[in-house]
Amino acid sequence: MTHQFDFLVLGSGVAGLTYALRVARHGSVAIITKKERAESNTNYAQGGVAAVLSQADSADLHMRDTLLAGRGLCREEAVRKMVKEGPARIRELVELGADFTRDGDEFDLAREGGHSVSRIVHAKDMTGREIERTLLDAVSSTSNITVFENHIAVDLLTAHQAEDEEIRFRSRLQCWGAYVLNTGAARVDLFLAKVVMLSTGGSGQVYLHTTNPVIATGDGIAMAYRAGARVANMEFIQFHPTTLFGSGSPSFLISEALRGFGALLRRQDGSEFMSGYDAQASLAPRDVVAYAIDHELKKRGEEFVLLDMTHLPAPDIRRRFPHIYETCRSRFRIDIASEPIPVVPGAHYCCGGVETDLMGRTNIRGLYAAGEVSMTGVHGANRLASNSLLEALVFSASAASDSICFQEDQSDRIPRMKPWDDSGTLDSEEWVLLSHDRKEIQQLMWDYVGIVRSDARLRRASRRIHLIREEIEQFYKRTRVVDELVQLRNLALCADLIIACSGRRKESRGLFRNTDYPERNDLRFGSDTYIDEETTGALLV
């Protein structure tokens, strides 16, 4: 079956929904989402959105904090754009109906690690859910938008898939849609569009322990890479310092806002330790805190450290963090107001991704990206807390403005694309291979490509991931696709990209340490790590 729209949006988080609402005034829009429309990393965001909204703050301060956290790799023009346009994007959400927590007539601004002042707009401790609700309500009332739930994009449509041989030679780097698996009908359809927006989120499920939902399998990054897009900085995986120990998969996130509220990190014997790592102590940026916890655990042979807020007034804790308080109390039998919380780091956010410019354009014509799938340059080697939703809001809006112009300028018809061909494939009964390979990828990435890495660990991980990818590709070619197989294929490729980028950076910076190169080296590695199919021999084609 073939569907045709003016705009095709892959993903239903804050970036995809913001983009869809803006472009819907200029054409028909399809939103492809893997599960239900509300399932996204956005929905899991607890902390809030960083923005300059008080007299005590300034754009210069927000820029300074972001650049400092980024450890020398932020693109200043991208940071400046995000900080400057952020307040307007927040006000637009309020106009749409977002109910952020107030202190009288003003926003109740919180503070998080790495921020010099309070600037976090929040809806209690469920900000992502409130933003997602607001945007979904707006999408539901927009007739020009069609949401396809339980659909997963398999690959992007470029000149390689065109039926016209001349187009295959003339227009390699242009995107006209995607092959999309309808999981309910067990059928791969053609979705054609003049413009494609990647807003598929991150790849946290590459790791054994992650705060990300099970859908975060790096699909957009993998598809874009296979189509010829340039990917950058995949080595910088942010491990959130504080996830609830023993809370399962995905790990339950204990928001950075608790430390901004006054919670302290302690060893199991009750001693505070962050003041020995950074002058900001428990309010240090995430890369510092995650490394410090990891180091303390390995040094002492313990499984977790403690996040302690028992010295703070219990009513204030319950009022400010109702979701975290009730979840810990009811599901895990922990009263965070009267006992410390056992925490460990968990994979949380990919600072790299598909490289874009300031308007969300990739190096493939007609393909835009925003949100965690993209690499705009605002995060550098370490994302400042609560800048992620802000980045998604700002750059998806810019991508919408640019792609409206691009779509209107496209006088050429969309070329005829080859329909999906699964002739000669079989329904396999060997699905145990999928679950085994997924577990093996997650374990080897956790063991060898975590916060602390080495050349030997990376070489071992690279050898094993190449074998796994070969096995998956062989299975993929002879088997009818299902969503688990599509996601596993993408996970394996994203793991390979992370390993390859890590191996190229012979230093320690931001979100990871390499024990063979313990110092930061601005002279040789003060720039981004780029990778694509034509510039690397380390990855399978």
CB distance 387 to 286 below 8 Å: no
Catalytic residue among 111, 286, 457, 509: 286
Query: Is 520 part of the annotated catalytic residue set?
Result: no
CB distance 255 to 125 below 8 Å: yes
CA distance 237 to 234: 7
* Phi, psi (rounded to 5 degrees) for 272: -75, 140
CA distance 190 to 137: 28
CA distance 125 to 108: 12
Cis status of the peptide bond prior to 250, with omega within 30 of 0:
yes
Amino acid identity of residue 491, one-letter, is L
> Could you tell me which of 110, 138, 114 has the C-alpha nearest to residue 54?
110
Tallying the residues shown for the chain, one arrives at 541
Question: Helices 76-96 and 59-69, interaxial angle, to 10°?
Answer: 120
**Cα R_g (the chain), whole angstroms:** 22
Contacts for 310 with CB less than 8 Å, ≥ 6 apart: 337, 338, 339, 340
The first and second tokens of residue 437, run together, are 């390979």
Across 150-189, b (16+ Cβ under 10 Å) vs e yields bbbbbbbbbbebbeeeebeeebeebbbbbbbbebeeeebb
What Å distances lie between residue 80 and 26, 87, 368, CA to CA? 28, 12, 20
> Could you tell me which of 493, 524, 532 has the C-alpha nearest to residue 354?
532
Burial of 72 (0-12, 13-18, 19+ CB in 10 A): middle
DSSP reduced 3-state for 131: helix
For 60-73, the DSSP string reads HHHHHHHHHHTTT-
DSSP state of 446: H
**Furthest-apart CA pair in the chain: how many Å?**
71
The first and second tokens of residue 334, run together, are 């922990």
CA distance 84 to 63: 9
The runs of H, that is alpha helices, within 410-454 are 432-448
Catalytic residue set: 286
